């Protein structure tokens, strides 16, 4: 990249940020992911402030019909198709950063480029995930299988079907920049317009955990298994790998690891294979029918 803070070098800096913002954002965001939310749309360039996702009503089981009797006249035999819809309303999310001319002169354009992209893409990604997980909290109708805390001391973790939520984006991450001669600062503003909705609240399970610095999250693998059972009872579809999606906090992850590391006994020699993995690298990919993703953007239970 060109050295100094000439007009051409600053324009190149801006061009690089514009080109890299979306890839960095996609690496940082969790929920707009086909594995987690199967119903995803990008509708940039279209009109309107909402997207409607059609929903089919539940079907009725066939009933026993006497010979010669009317099928439709038999009680509870009619199973009409009556679709409904869930709406995704777009919200604009924005983040700003100002870069002084001195920062460019002293730090160098490459350093500034990386710092700006990280700040802008990370800020938009975190806001997007927080909005999606809040929508999961609002839409969930299944019982909480965790500690049942209903205040800010408790975090809500989720186990859900890939068919539970819908996501739509009207504007992909974009950035604008201008120079303020009064303050000698290059001002950058990044925005995205997107939204989430719950399609079926009975496909979203909640697990509340008390998250604090003392690692007092008592909910563990049993809570995950209970949520999985509730989803199976609703005939909630799984992902292609046959598992549901779990989005959990680091503290809940520790509680699960703590339980698994002791599976089979209290000495390393008696650990299970899953326990060995948890003890070695503190990671769990799939357990109790749930593929786990870690997030710091989960809502509290208040």
- Residues 6+ positions from 298 with CB-CB distance below 8 Å: 133, 155, 156, 157, 158, 247, 248, 249
Give the span between the Cα atoms of 240 and 261, in whole angstroms.
28
Residue-wise pLDDT tens digits, 70-118: 877 766 667 776 677 889 999 999 999 999 999 888 887 888 999 999 9
Question: What percent of the chain is modeled with pLDDT above 90?
Answer: 51
Report whether 287 contacts 274 (CB < 8 A).
yes
φ/ψ (deg, to 5) at 22: -65, -50
Kindly indicate the confidence band of residue 278, based on its pLDDT and cuts at 50, 70 and 90: very low
Residue-wise pLDDT tens digits, 182-210: 999 999 999 999 999 999 999 999 999 88
- Residues 6+ positions from 251 with CB-CB distance below 8 Å: 155, 209, 211, 212, 215, 217
Angle at 194 between CA 86 and CA 150, to 5 degrees: 70
Residue 279 has pLDDT above 60, yes or no: no
pTM of the entire structure? 0.83
Lowest mean pLDDT among 2-6, 80-84, 96-100, 269-273: 269-273
Lowest mean pLDDT among 12-26, 52-66, 182-196, 275-289: 275-289
Residue 215 has what pLDDT?
A: 58
Residue 283 has pLDDT above 90, yes or no: no
Residue 37 has what pLDDT?
A: 93
Residue 270 has pLDDT above 70, yes or no: no
Lowest mean pLDDT among 13-22, 64-73, 127-136: 64-73
Enumerate the domain spans of the chain. Answer: 7-56+82-294
Residue 131 has what pLDDT?
A: 97
CA distances (Å), origin 103, targets 2, 176, 219, 221: 15, 19, 47, 49
Q: Give 202 or 149, the one with higher predicted confidence.
A: 202
Which of 78-87, 119-128, 211-220 is modeled with the greatest confidence?
Answer: 119-128
**Residue tagged 């205040």 (tokens):** 151
Q: Give 59 or 173, the one with higher predicted confidence.
A: 173
């Amino acid at each position: 990249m060109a050295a100094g803070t000439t007009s051409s070098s600053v324009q190149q800096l801006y061009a690089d940020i514009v080109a890299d913002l979306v890839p960095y954002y996609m690496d940082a965001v969790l929920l707009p992911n086909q594995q987690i939310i199967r119903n995803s749309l990008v509708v940039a360039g279209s009109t309107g402030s909402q997207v409607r996702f059609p929903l089919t009503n539940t079907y009725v089981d066939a009933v026993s019909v006497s010979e010669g009797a009317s099928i439709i006249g038999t009680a509870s035999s009619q199973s009409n198709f009556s679709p409904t819809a869930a709406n995704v309303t777009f919200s604009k999310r924005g983040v700003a950063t100002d870069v002084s001319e001195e920062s460019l002169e002293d730090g160098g354009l490459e350093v500034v480029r990386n710092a700006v992209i990280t700040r802008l893409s990370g800020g938009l990604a975190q806001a997007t995930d927080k909005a999606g997980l809040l929508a999961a909290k609002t839409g969930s109708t299944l019982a909480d299988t965790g500690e049942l805390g209903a205040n800010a001391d408790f975090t809500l973790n989720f186990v859900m079907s890939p068919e539970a939520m819908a996501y739509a984006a009207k504007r992909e991450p974009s950035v604008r920049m201008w120079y303020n001669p009064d303050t000698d600062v290059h001002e950058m503003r990044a925005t995205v317009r997107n939204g989430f909705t719950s399609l079926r609240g009975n496909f979203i399970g909640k697990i509340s955990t008390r998250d604090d610095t003392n690692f007092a999250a008592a909910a563990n693998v049993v809570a995950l298994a209970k949520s999985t059972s509730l989803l199976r009872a609703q005939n909630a579809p799984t992902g292609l790998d046959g598992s549901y999606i779990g989005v959990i906090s680091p503290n809940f992850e520790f509680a699960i690891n703590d339980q698994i590391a002791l599976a089979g006994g209290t000495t390393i020699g008696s650990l299970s294979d899953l326990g060995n993995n948890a003890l070695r690298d503190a990671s769990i990919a799939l357990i109790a029918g749930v593929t786990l993703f870690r997030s710091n953007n989960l809502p509290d239970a208040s």
